[in-house]
């Protein structure tokens, strides 16, 4: 019998144990080993037998634990390509079977019903967006029924993902250049958001040792630019400012119920916390504020000094990110937009005849063992239905015949939902005279109302307003931007 040597003399001990295990106690007695001369040898043999059994037991436990995934266990064989789906992130490769990935369902797009797009993002542990996901990687169910996925892609301008942004801006003396940078870049910011399919609204809170000013969320870019333009950096009684109270004030903003909530905090100062003494007071700490923001589902992005540890805890605890305020603001803006718009849409055709009141979506990435779900109130007050393919003759308010299918669907929806009321909003680009654009956008909104009332919907269920070119969602400097600005929107005002 061959011996297995492990270290000095180990082979003899294992060989002896194997011999004893093979013979057994009765065999030992029959062989005449049960006498004083062999007692010590027999005891050694039994000890060796016990040691061997113990080692075998340890080996079995280790193998079972590794098999069950309880302990790390390395196998030299490489996994086959059919079992692992990989996606490239710059120079980093992330396996989609990695359960450490963070997958979040952000919203749902019903503007092209019966096509429904579920909006989600995937990040690794370093907050790097995972791209290149294929529709074969994902399973979607709607209200418990598995859906056939038509397409999976990144969000584009054809999507409408509602996001409400609240900017919290420190207005103390040292922030002068940072406030100027916000003023200079905000239009570029909104143009790029629109190009990425973000239906934004903007709000602002200015603060120092106290919450100094608050402006409610608006979709009017010019109004927001006026608020930022009026900011003047001044004062600053001590080193710390009251960012936590500004964050608390942000939780009570007029968010759309259908929108994702995003806070952008811009400051170069540390913040007051509960129990401290100074010019600013608050009842919150880093921990309690993070919990509050998470409860309100408010992602917090901090453009701050990265040396201040507390901001990172707030950002990480709410699914946000930290950006270095000392870097050029254009660079910060680029990184922020990249993070905010690293969104995927998985599109399917629902089996429902009409837009339901609510939808429960479940998204699975089986290879990663990840399942996430979210309930959406679909027909809710404030939700926007954007109908892109309502076309009018140039400088006219006669609806082209190809636009009627979309309007006919809305008529069916309103007949099925007799309490549903809509506000019809008309918009133009900036080509032409301002007064002409205002009249034209109002006339087009009225034409849509007239089309629907002639087909049996009570006029009292509609209101109309024309905004002309005053509320662009994109820059009018390009044809693509002007196309996005020529639109008709339907806002649910009562259900």
Measured distance CA(44)–CA(28) in Å, rounded: 13
Burial 7-17 (b: 16+ CB within 10 A, else e): eeeeeebbbbb
Tokens of 228: 């930022």
pLDDT in tens, 425-451: 998 888 889 999 999 999 999 999 999
What one-character DSSP code corresponds to residue 123?
E
Q: Are residues 305 and 174 in the same domain?
A: yes
Same domain (yes/no): 145, 173: no
Same domain, 197 and 151: no
Look at residue 88 and tell me whether its pLDDT is greater than 50. Answer: no
The last residue of one of the domains, among 351, 377, 403, is 377
Confidence of residue 9 (pLDDT cuts 50, 70, 90): very low
Same domain membership, residue 263 and residue 144: no
| Residue 313 included in any domain | yes
Spatial contact of 136 and 157, defined as CB atoms under 8 Å apart: no
For residue 117, give its domain range.
Answer: 86-155+343-377
d(C-alpha 452, C-alpha 461), whole Å: 10
Mean pLDDT of the chain: 78
pLDDT confidence of residue 166: 96
Evaluate if residue 56 carries a pLDDT over 80.
no
Task: Judge contact between 375 and 358, C-beta under 8 A.
Answer: yes
For residues 482 and 449, state if they share a domain: yes
**CATH number for the domain including 142?**
2.60.40.10
Instruction: Please tell me the number of Cα atoms within 13 Å of 426 on its side-chain side.
Output: 24
The answer to whether residue 467 sits within a structural domain is yes
pLDDT tens for 224-234 read: 999 999 998 88
Same domain for 201 and 317, yes or no, is yes
Rounded-to-integer distance, Cα 430 and Cα 485, Å: 9
Q: Which of 184, 187, 206, 203 is nearest to 195 (CA)?
A: 187
Q: Are residues 42 and 96 in the same domain?
A: no
Q: What's the pLDDT at 55?
A: 54
Q: Within a domain: residue 79?
A: no
Residue scoring higher pLDDT (322 or 379): 322
Residues 348 and 459 in one domain: no
In the predicted structure, residue 168 carries a pLDDT above the cut 90: yes
Do residues 151 and 62 share a domain?
no
Mean pLDDT on 406-418:
89
Residue 237: per-residue pLDDT:
60
Query: Has residue 187 been placed in a domain?
Result: yes
Closest to 210 in 3D by CA, of 168, 178, 156? 168
Same domain, 306 and 365: no
Distance of CA 70 to the CA centre of its chain: 31
Domain end point (choices 340, 367, 402): 340
376 pLDDT above the threshold of 70: yes
Task: Count Cβ neighbours within 10 Å for each residue of 336-372 and write b for 16 or more, e otherwise.
Answer: bbebbbbbbbbbbebeeeebbeebebbbbbebbebee
Report which of 493, 245, 254 is spatially closest to residue 383, judged by C-alpha positions: 493
Helix, coil or strand: residue 320: coil
Q: Do 321 and 178 fall within a single domain?
A: yes
Q: pLDDT (tens digit, 9 = 90+) per residue, 198-224? A: 889 999 999 999 999 999 999 888 899
Cβ-Cβ contacts under 8 Å for 192 (sequence gap 6 or more): 337, 341
Distance between CA atoms of 143 and 258, rounded to whole angstroms?
18
> Does 322 reside within a domain?
yes
- Whole-number percent of the chain with pLDDT over 70: 78
pLDDT digits 0-9 by tens, 288-328 = 999 999 999 999 999 999 889 899 999 999 989 999 999 98
In this structure, is residue 74 part of a structural domain? no
Of 319, 340, 361, which closes a domain?
340
Residues 175 and 141 occupy one common structural domain: no
Q: How many domains does the chain have?
A: 4
Range of lowest pLDDT (46-60, 98-112, 128-142, 435-449): 46-60
């Amino acid at each position: 019998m061959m011996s297995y040597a492990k270290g000095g003399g180990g082979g003899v001990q294992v060989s002896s144990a194997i011999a004893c295990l093979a013979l057994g106690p009765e065999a030992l007695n029959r062989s005449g080993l049960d006498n004083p001369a062999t007692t010590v040898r027999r005891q050694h043999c039994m000890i060796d037998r016990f040691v061997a059994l113990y080692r075998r037991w340890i080996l079995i436990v280790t193998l079972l634990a590794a098999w069950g995934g309880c302990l790390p266990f390395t196998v030299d064989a490489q996994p086959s390509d059919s079992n692992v789906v990989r996606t490239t992130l710059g120079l980093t490769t992330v396996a989609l079977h990695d359960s450490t990935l963070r997958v979040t369902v952000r919203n749902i797009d019903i503007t092209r019903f019966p096509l429904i797009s579920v909006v989600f993002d995937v990040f690794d542990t370093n907050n790097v967006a995972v791209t290149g996901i294929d529709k074969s990687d994902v399973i979607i169910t709607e209200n418990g029924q598995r859906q056939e996925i038509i397409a999976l892609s990144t969000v584009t301008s054809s999507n409408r993902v509602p996001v409400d942004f609240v900017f919290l801006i420190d207005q103390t003396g040292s922030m002068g250049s940072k406030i100027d940078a916000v003023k200079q870049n905000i239009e570029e910011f909104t143009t790029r958001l629109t190009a990425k399919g973000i239906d934004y609204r903007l709000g602002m809170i200015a603060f120092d040792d106290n919450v100094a000013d608050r402006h409610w969320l608006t979709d009017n870019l010019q109004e927001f630019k006026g608020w930022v333009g009026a900011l003047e950096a001044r004062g600053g009684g001590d080193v710390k400012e009251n960012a936590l109270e500004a964050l608390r004030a942000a939780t009570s903003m007029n968010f759309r119920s259908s929108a994702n909530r995003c806070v952008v905090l811009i400051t170069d100062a540390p913040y007051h916390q509960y129990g401290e003494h100074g010019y600013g007071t608050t009842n919150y700490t880093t921990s309690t504020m993070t919990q509050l923001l998470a409860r309100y589902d408010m992602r917090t992005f901090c453009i701050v000094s990265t040396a201040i540890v507390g901001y990172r805890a707030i950002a990480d605890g709410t699914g946000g990110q930290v950006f270095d305020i000392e870097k050029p603001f254009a660079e910060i803006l680029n990184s922020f937009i990249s993070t905010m718009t690293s969104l995927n849409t998985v599109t399917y055709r629902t089996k429902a005849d009409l837009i339901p009141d609510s939808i429960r979506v479940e998204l699975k990435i089986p290879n990663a063992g990840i399942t996430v779900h979210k309930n959406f109130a679909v027909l809710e007050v404030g939700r926007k239905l954007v109908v892109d393919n309502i076309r009018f003759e140039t400088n006219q308010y006669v609806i082209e015949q190809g636009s009627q299918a979309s309007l006919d669907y809305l008529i069916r929806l309103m007949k099925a939902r007799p309490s549903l009321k809509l506000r019809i909003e008309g918009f133009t680009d900036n080509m032409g005279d301002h007064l002409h654009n205002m009249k034209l956008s109002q006339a087009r909104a009225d034409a849509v109302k007239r089309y629907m009332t002639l087909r049996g919907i009570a006029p009292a269920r509609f209101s109309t307003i024309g905004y002309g070119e005053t509320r662009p969602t994109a820059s009018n400097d390009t044809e693509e931007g002007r196309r996005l600005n020529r639109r008709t929107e339907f806002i649910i005002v009562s259900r």
